[in-house]
Structure 1
Amino acid sequence: MTKPFKKGWAEPVQLPRGTTWHRQVAALCCKKGKAGLKVLLITSRDTGRWILPKGWPMDDRSDPQAALQEAWEEAGVKKARIKHKPVGHFDYYKILSGGVPLPVRAQVYRVNVIAMADKYPEVDERTRNWVTPKEAAELVDETDLKALLRKL
């Protein structure tokens, strides 16, 4: 049997036929300033990798609203305007308990940040950092996300 996963689980490789991609929503948080466009990255809770705020769809919210909720909980985005059409997607493997990789496709929604909070639900669990899109593309692991960031 061929190995369907790549070391580090950062990007998809040959998956067995019939593999189900599980859907998530992600917030591409942006702000414009004197120095140009900046993108907000946060660290993951488990490995400390740089990622976008993301999570599972929510029954009581549209996908863009769910992405905005994740931006609040994980990064402290207090006030923002969100685009209702996704700007793209990226694939990755979420590592479940026991080390089992779950293939995930994250739909990415652009969030234009107006205000940030200093206190938010996951403030003690993550680090956040505003960087240029080029810097963000160098910091994230996912190939499709790198390409999406380079297009900004």
Structure 2
Amino acid sequence: MKILSEISDTLYLMFRRPKRAQYAALCYRLRENGGSPDILLLTSRDTGRWVIPKGWPMGARPGYEVAAQEALEEAGVIGEAERQPVGCFGYDKAMAEGVKMPCEVQVHALKVTEYAEEFKEKGKRRIEWVSAGEAETRVQEPGLKKLIHDFAQRRS
């Protein structure tokens, strides 16, 4: 009976649970010669796929502050995140025991102005600045690809 209960709990999480909220920073820098901005990508710790800094809500902190904090902790970049999100995208977060949790990620643009010498996840991820076009090809989530494309078009 215990295994049936575990299966039932897993199915409940997969199909009945509402999407969980996350907040992300679309970190960018402007090129001196103009054109579309460079985008900061980093690898996820578990699968090594290319992503942007993101994380779970932090108490009552607004989404843009969470996005800025995640950018600092995961990529060591500092800047002011825009209060208004540039968009959202959805993906399935792989959880323990193979359960996938649907997440809706609110993305805030963050113009990078400084770099931290030390940060929480230093050395745990690859971090690269790439063109917006290259960022689109590297990320897997269709919604994030579109968001990067639209962002670059508005900023060029």
TM-score norm. by structure 1 comes to 0.84
1:136 aligns with 2:106: no
Structure showing the higher helix proportion among its residues: 2
User: Following the alignment from structure 2 to structure 1, what is the Cα–Cα distance between the partners of residues 59 and 122?
Assistant: 25
- CA deviation string 1:18-48 (max 9, x = no partner): 5511100000001012254100001000010
Matched residue, 2:65: 65
User: Following the alignment from structure 1 to structure 2, what is the Cα–Cα distance between the partners of residues 43 and 89?
Assistant: 20
Between the aligned residues of both structures, percent identity stands at: 41
Report the aligned-residue RMSD. 1.5
**Aligned positions of 1:1-152 closer than 5 A:** 19-34=17-32, 36=35, 37-77=37-77, 79-151=78-150, 152=152
User: Following the alignment from structure 1 to structure 2, what is the Cα–Cα distance between the partners of residues 65 and 90?
Assistant: 18
Deviation at 1:116, TM superposition (A): 1.2
Q: How many matched pairs?
A: 136
Q: Which amino acid aligns with 2:74?
A: E
User: Following the alignment from structure 2 to structure 1, what is the Cα–Cα distance between the partners of residues 82 and 67?
Assistant: 10
User: Following the alignment from structure 1 to structure 2, what is the Cα–Cα distance between the partners of residues 96 and 82?
Assistant: 28
Structure 2 runs not aligned, ≥5 long = 1-13
Q: Which amino acid aligns with 1:23?
A: A
The structure with the larger Rg is 2
Deviation at 1:68, TM superposition (A): 0.4
TM-score norm. by structure 2 comes to 0.82
4+ runs of 1 displaced by more than 4 Å?
none
User: Following the alignment from structure 1 to structure 2, what is the Cα–Cα distance between the partners of residues 109 and 34?
Assistant: 23
Q: Which amino acid aligns with 1:27?
A: A
* Farther off after superposition, 114-123 or 38-47: 114-123
